A and B are shown apart, each in its own frame.
Chain A
Amino acid sequence: MDTPNKPLTQKDFVSDQEVRWCPGCGDYAILAAIQHTLPKLGVTREKTVFVSGIGCSSRFPYYMSTYGFHTIHGRAPAIATGVKLANPELDVWMVTGDGDGLSIGGNHFLHVLRRNVDLQILMFNNRIYGLTKGQYSPTSLVGLKTPSTPLGSLDMPINPCLLALGANGRFVARGIDTSTSTLGDLFVAAHGHRGSSFIEILQNCPVFNDGAWDNVTMRDIASENQLWVEHGKPLLFGKDKRKGLRLAPGGSHVEVVTLGEGGVTEADVAVHDQTNRTLAFLLAQLALPDFPMAFGVLYCDPVPSYDSAVTAQNATAVEKSGAGDIDRLLRGGHTWRVE
């Protein structure tokens, strides 16, 4: 049992189960980042619940020494919603994959976000179905050759952050599996946000889609291809932060500029405003090769969470009508006596 005066450490969140992901799987780094971050959030193990769907990533709860529910394919959002509505005091984290969350669970993904249930939703995006051995997923690029697409996939991929914004998600962020410290920061931010907090985590599947994110994550090109956004800070990237994003007149799109070239100064570079939904859409869409990919908290603009609204409505009903009395309920309306 956790005693309040003894602070928890990373080790306290490690379960006794042997982790069974493939060697080199990006999931290990994400697991470590969570176990490292939770003690910093001042949470207790007993109030923390991990809910997942099905997929390699969804094995996650087994490795946490918190409460955990490994459910069915795609349905974690619905189950997590039930958990949170039943007991809003619980701190609920949801783990899903790109297949789990966007294919079979696409519908639930959409609805949990638009309802704004207070959850931290982590989507491990490896652009492939891992557990079922390498079929293409809804985020796979066109042309990907897999056992189910020997001639190359034809489906257009989904951009998870864009979809989350479109679903009216109020917290949308993107991170990278191996970038442990930034991932920790994102977890902290997501946890602090009351409502659905969505984090897409680029994750490498070394067995079925090795290197799918290399063009953004490889160390030597990272600075050119990653734009880390921070609220109130200019959107700068590149070696020595010499490049930036400038909002085109009218704000309909962004363009890459280089400081010092053609009279461009830092003042021309757009400043990140995480409450600006339009900017968030622009950032979420940025893709190689013309743009860097955006990371960090792309959007955060809280509104009251669904569970708090449900709790409030239930409380108002009690205030208005008193705690319901069964005898009154059954005898309400038309009744008569037979003597």
Chain B
Amino acid sequence: MDTPVRSKDADGREILDSVVIRFAGDSGDGMQLAGMQFTQTTAVAGNDLATFPDFPAEIRAPAGTTFGVSGFQIHFASHDVLTPGDEPDVLVAMNPAALKVNLRDVPSGGLIILNTGAFTPQNLKKAGYEKNPLEDGTLDPYRKLEIDVSKLVVAAVEPFGLGTKEALRAKNVWTLGLLYWLFGRDRTPTIEWLKKKFAKRPDIAEANIAALNAGHVYGETAELPTGVAAYKIPKADLPRGHYRNITGNEALAWGLATAGRLAELPVFYGSYPITPASSVLHSLAGLKHYGVTTFQAEDEIAAICSAIGASYAGIIGATATSGPGMALKGEAMGLAIMTELPLVIFDVQRAGPSTGMPTKTEQSDLFQAVWGRNGDAPLVVLAPATPGECFYMAIEAVRLAIKYMTPVIVLSDGYIANGAEPWAIPSFADLPKIPVAFRTDPAGFHPYVRDPETLARNWAKPGTPGLEHRIGGIEKNFASGHISYDPENHQKMTKTRADKVLGVAKDLPLQKVEIGNERGKMVVVGWGSTYGSIHQAVRRARKDGLDVSHVHVRHLWPLPSNLADLLGGFERVLVPELNNGQLVRLLRAEYLIPADPMDKISGMPFRVAELEQEIRVKLAAPLVRNNRLS
């Protein structure tokens, strides 16, 4: 509750602007589920929101251990919400391990809801506590709600005759009921959801509903400790429209299916499972009736190659993966670049080289996307800033891929992929169609005849009489398209491929300033999922009168044509990234500007406070140019 309590409403609830809640428990405790349900009802209640699920890589880590802790954070407010929040105002800790892992993030005075029933000597030991934190004063700086949820839930579901183990599964739902009461949420959507989810086990559905109600009643009737009240967060002033929650991966999948319809072409999606990209495959696999064929390949190389084969055959070929899978796809991207075929590649970035940290977020595939192939191998790179933007970026990727006959990479990341936000649903009729022109005329045909405007070669699909031709990864003659080892021709073709991709810049919106002046003391340049935190930090700094602007780059290659001029108007350029300095190096290399890096490589998103702090420090420091990056 990062803003002070304003007032009380008629029924005695305290009115708050904004709340951050973190649900934390064992992997098996159903925290993601509780978080998702809370998100849905919060959206329906009219708040703006952002979420951040944070789960371990282990599927079922040993129960009660710190590495098995799963978390879900939601930030909701009566104003627009840009991030899932720096620190939780409310921590729900289902066991000692969850408390241990998350307590350090809770500010003093924060509210902690504890399931005391799980604080057994055995669980305390598993979490690495030598003394019980409920008793040794560890929790003194916080407000507490200590409840033996385990006991209460067993009592609540007793009439349904479930075993203790099954009864205890409803702990998350009981806790949800309590939170619904605390924050004035309607239980109906969750009750309906439970009925649907357990349609085949009505007893379980009823038990869960009983648990939900019991948690709610507990809130209503229990004597809450001092400092804990019931709250109300008024509706946010969102633009009119029809809304839903959407995650980044869902948006990528739906965007791709929509692009197929806009281009009036089937979509082929070849992919190999990898966290955090897999759910794009799961979503698309359910959309076969939308003209989407999905193919789970034997590896990433086969995945991208099958997509290239589909594009060659005249439909939209797409693939998705995460970092290590991108590395494997590199050679095939080169083939698509040489054969100038449309291809869409989603890279849902994860942290670190090699396997890295699969469930943690990072922005460290930028170099790989822009430069990471053999030969001079240019392609288009886009980066959505929010989950909802993923939808439009997928469509944009298909449009550019077809128009320019080029592979396009969309750089998402684990944070956008799993994070959700309320999204104003567009109407299909309002989305611009994607024009497709297959070559059919044999007169004057060769496969590398180019459109003089876009430099795109013509797309001649097999099955078209008279256009039989051969393509491949070997260099080809500019005029005839036949194999060529001629030195000047290779120079010309390399330049042509580069110019074609650079020419895409003419097709892109000019870079605008998100907030702030067009010139001044400092600009903070971000890309991808750090949008919300950067924006909020710049907003706060500007509220204090600091001269700082926010520029967010969504087209990373080619860069927007006015970006150099725009950045040139600022004394300082600060580039915060969740990597060891990639965009900052790209900007320096392209524009010869002394941009400063700000890196965070912890697998976690930026907190607004740390960005704001850096802005203040950098603005206060004398302008000395150190041209070396750390």
Q: Which residues of A contact B (CB under 8 A)?
A: 1-2, 15, 17, 44-47, 49, 51, 54, 61-62, 64-72, 75, 77-87, 89-90, 107-108, 110-111, 310, 313-314, 317-318, 320-327, 329-331, 333-339
Does B274 make an interface contact (CB < 8 A)? no
Query: With A82-B305, A324-B289 in contact, do A69 and B240 touch (Cβ < 8 Å)?
Result: no
Partner of B462, one of A90, A324, A325, A326: A90
Does B121 make an interface contact (CB < 8 A)? no
Q: List residues of chain B with CB within 8 A of the CB of A314.
A: 288-289, 293
Docked complex: B195-254 residues within 8 A CB-CB of A: 238-245, 254
Q: Mark B251-265, 1 if CB is under 8 A from A, else 0.
A: 000100110010000
Partner of B289, one of A46, A322, A335: A322
Would A67 and B314 count as touching, CB distance under 8 A? no
Would B241 and A80 count as touching, CB distance under 8 A? no
Would B268 and A82 count as touching, CB distance under 8 A? yes
Would B468 and A321 count as touching, CB distance under 8 A? no
Would A72 and B465 count as touching, CB distance under 8 A? no
Query: With A75-B332, A89-B463 in contact, do A83 and B310 touch (Cβ < 8 Å)?
Result: yes
Interface centre among B243, B287, B468, B472, by most chain A C-beta atoms within 10 angstroms, is B468
Partner of B468, one of A17, A65, A70: A65
CB distance from A21 to the nearest CB of B (A): 14
Q: List residues of chain B with CB within 8 A of the CB of A2.
A: 465
| Total number of residue pairs linking A and B with CB closer than 8 Å | 213
Closest to B466 in A: A1
Partner of A69, one of B312, B331, B334: B312
Would A107 and B298 count as touching, CB distance under 8 A? yes
Task: Give 25 pairs: A residue, B residue, CB < 8 Å, sorted on A.
Answer: A46-B465, A51-B309, A68-B469, A69-B309, A69-B312, A69-B472, A70-B473, A70-B474, A82-B295, A82-B305, A82-B307, A83-B312, A85-B293, A87-B313, A89-B463, A314-B288, A314-B289, A323-B289, A324-B257, A325-B428, A329-B290, A334-B189, A335-B243, A336-B242, A339-B240
Q: Report, nearest first, the 4 A-B pairs whose CB atoms are least far apart.
A: A82-B309, A70-B472, A324-B290, A78-B305
Would A327 and B427 count as touching, CB distance under 8 A? yes
Does B301 make an interface contact (CB < 8 A)? yes
CB distance from A160 to the nearest CB of B (A): 18
Q: List residues of chain A with CB within 8 A of the CB of B244.
A: 330-331, 333-336
Query: With A82-B313, A86-B310, A330-B244 in contact, do A44 and B287 touch (Cβ < 8 Å)?
Result: no
Docked complex: B445-503 residues within 8 A CB-CB of A: 461-474, 482-483
**Assuming A62-B483, A320-B289, what are 14 further A-B pairs, CB within 8 angstroms?**
A46-B463, A46-B466, A49-B313, A72-B331, A79-B308, A82-B306, A83-B313, A85-B268, A107-B302, A110-B298, A321-B289, A329-B287, A330-B254, A334-B189
Does B558 make an interface contact (CB < 8 A)? no
Q: List residues of chain B with CB within 8 A of the CB of A324.
A: 257, 287, 289-291
Q: List residues of chain A with CB within 8 A of the CB of B311.
A: 82, 86
Docked complex: B332-378 residues within 8 A CB-CB of A: 332, 334-335, 339
Q: List residues of chain A with CB within 8 A of the CB of B309.
A: 51, 69, 78-86
Does B270 make an interface contact (CB < 8 A)? yes
Does B397 make an interface contact (CB < 8 A)? no
Would A338 and B238 count as touching, CB distance under 8 A? yes
Would A46 and B462 count as touching, CB distance under 8 A? yes
Which of B39-47, B78-86, B512-520 has 4 or more CB atoms under 8 Å from chain A? B39-47
Q: How many angstroms from the CA of A72 to the CA of B242 in the assembled complex?
A: 47
Interface centre among B245, B291, B463, B482, by most chain A C-beta atoms within 10 angstroms, is B463
Query: With A75-B305, A111-B302, A338-B46 in contact, do A82 and B289 touch (Cβ < 8 Å)?
Result: no
Q: How large is the interface on B (under 10, 10 to 19, 20 to 34, 35 or more residues)?
A: 35 or more
Would A83 and B335 count as touching, CB distance under 8 A? no
Q: List residues of chain A with CB within 8 A of the CB of B524.
A: none
Q: Mark B422-451, 1 if CB is under 8 A from A, else 0.
A: 000111100000000000001000000000
Does B299 make an interface contact (CB < 8 A)? yes
Interface of A is mostly: mixed
Would A47 and B310 count as touching, CB distance under 8 A? no
Would A329 and B288 count as touching, CB distance under 8 A? no
Q: List residues of chain A with CB within 8 A of the CB of B44.
A: 334, 336
Closest to A85 in B: B293
Partner of A338, one of B240, B287, B288: B240
Q: Mark B308-332, 1 if CB is under 8 A from A, else 0.
A: 1111111101000000000000011
Q: How many angstroms from the CA of A70 to the CA of B46 in the assembled complex?
A: 56
Q: How many angstroms from the CA of A320 to the CA of B288 in the assembled complex?
A: 11
Would B312 and A108 count as touching, CB distance under 8 A? no
Q: List residues of chain A with CB within 8 A of the CB of B96.
A: none
Q: List residues of chain A with CB within 8 A of the CB of B103.
A: none
Q: How many angstroms from the CA of A330 to the CA of B427 in the assembled complex?
A: 9
Q: List residues of chain A with CB within 8 A of the CB of B483.
A: 17, 62
CB distance from A19 to the nearest CB of B (A): 12
Query: With A46-B463, A62-B470, A338-B238 in contact, do A86 and B245 touch (Cβ < 8 Å)?
Result: no
CB distance from A307 to the nearest CB of B (A): 10
Q: List residues of chain A with CB within 8 A of the CB of B63.
A: none
Closest to B307 in A: A82
CB distance from B485 to the nearest CB of A (A): 12
Q: List residues of chain B with CB within 8 A of the CB of A110.
A: 298
Q: Mark B267-295, 1 if CB is under 8 A from A, else 0.
A: 01010000000000000000111110101
Would B468 and A66 count as touching, CB distance under 8 A? yes
Q: List residues of chain B with CB within 8 A of the CB of A67.
A: 462, 468-470
Docked complex: B31-55 residues within 8 A CB-CB of A: 40, 43-44, 46
Q: List residues of chain B with CB within 8 A of the CB of A325.
A: 428
Does B266 make an interface contact (CB < 8 A)? yes
Would B43 and A334 count as touching, CB distance under 8 A? yes
Q: List residues of chain A with CB within 8 A of the CB of B474.
A: 70
Would A336 and B243 count as touching, CB distance under 8 A? yes
Closest to A47 in B: B463
Would B462 and A49 count as touching, CB distance under 8 A? yes
Partner of A78, one of B302, B314, B482: B302
Partner of B305, one of A68, A71, A321: A71
Q: List residues of chain A with CB within 8 A of the CB of B462.
A: 46-47, 49, 67, 83, 87, 90
Does B564 make an interface contact (CB < 8 A)? no
Would A81 and B295 count as touching, CB distance under 8 A? yes
Closest to B425 in A: A330
Would B465 and A61 count as touching, CB distance under 8 A? no
CB distance from B495 to the nearest CB of A (A): 23
Q: List residues of chain B with CB within 8 A of the CB of A51.
A: 309
CB distance from A118 to the nearest CB of B (A): 14
Does B297 make an interface contact (CB < 8 A)? yes
CB distance from A7 to the nearest CB of B (A): 16
Would B426 and A330 count as touching, CB distance under 8 A? yes
Q: How many angstroms from the CA of A47 to the CA of B471 in the assembled complex?
A: 16
Q: How many angstroms from the CA of A78 to the CA of B329 in the assembled complex?
A: 13
Q: How many angstroms from the CA of A327 to the CA of B44 in the assembled complex?
A: 20
Query: With A46-B466, A86-B310, A326-B258 in contact, do A335 and B425 touch (Cβ < 8 Å)?
Result: yes
Q: List residues of chain A with CB within 8 A of the CB of B469.
A: 67-68
Would B245 and A334 count as touching, CB distance under 8 A? yes
Q: How many angstroms from the CA of A250 to the CA of B449 in the assembled complex?
A: 65
Would B470 and A86 count as touching, CB distance under 8 A? no
Q: How many angstroms from the CA of A176 to the CA of B305 in the assembled complex?
A: 30
Q: How many angstroms from the CA of A107 to the CA of B299 in the assembled complex?
A: 9
Query: With A61-B472, A329-B287 in contact, do A337 and B313 touch (Cβ < 8 Å)?
Result: no
Closest to B460 in A: A67
Q: How many angstroms from the CA of A46 to the CA of B483 in the assembled complex?
A: 21
CB distance from A63 to the nearest CB of B (A): 9
CB distance from B252 to the nearest CB of A (A): 14
Q: How many angstroms from the CA of A65 to the CA of B466 in the assembled complex?
A: 10
Would B288 and A82 count as touching, CB distance under 8 A? no
Q: How many angstroms from the CA of A329 to the CA of B428 in the assembled complex?
A: 10
Would A338 and B241 count as touching, CB distance under 8 A? yes
Q: How many angstroms from the CA of A9 to the CA of B310 in the assembled complex?
A: 30
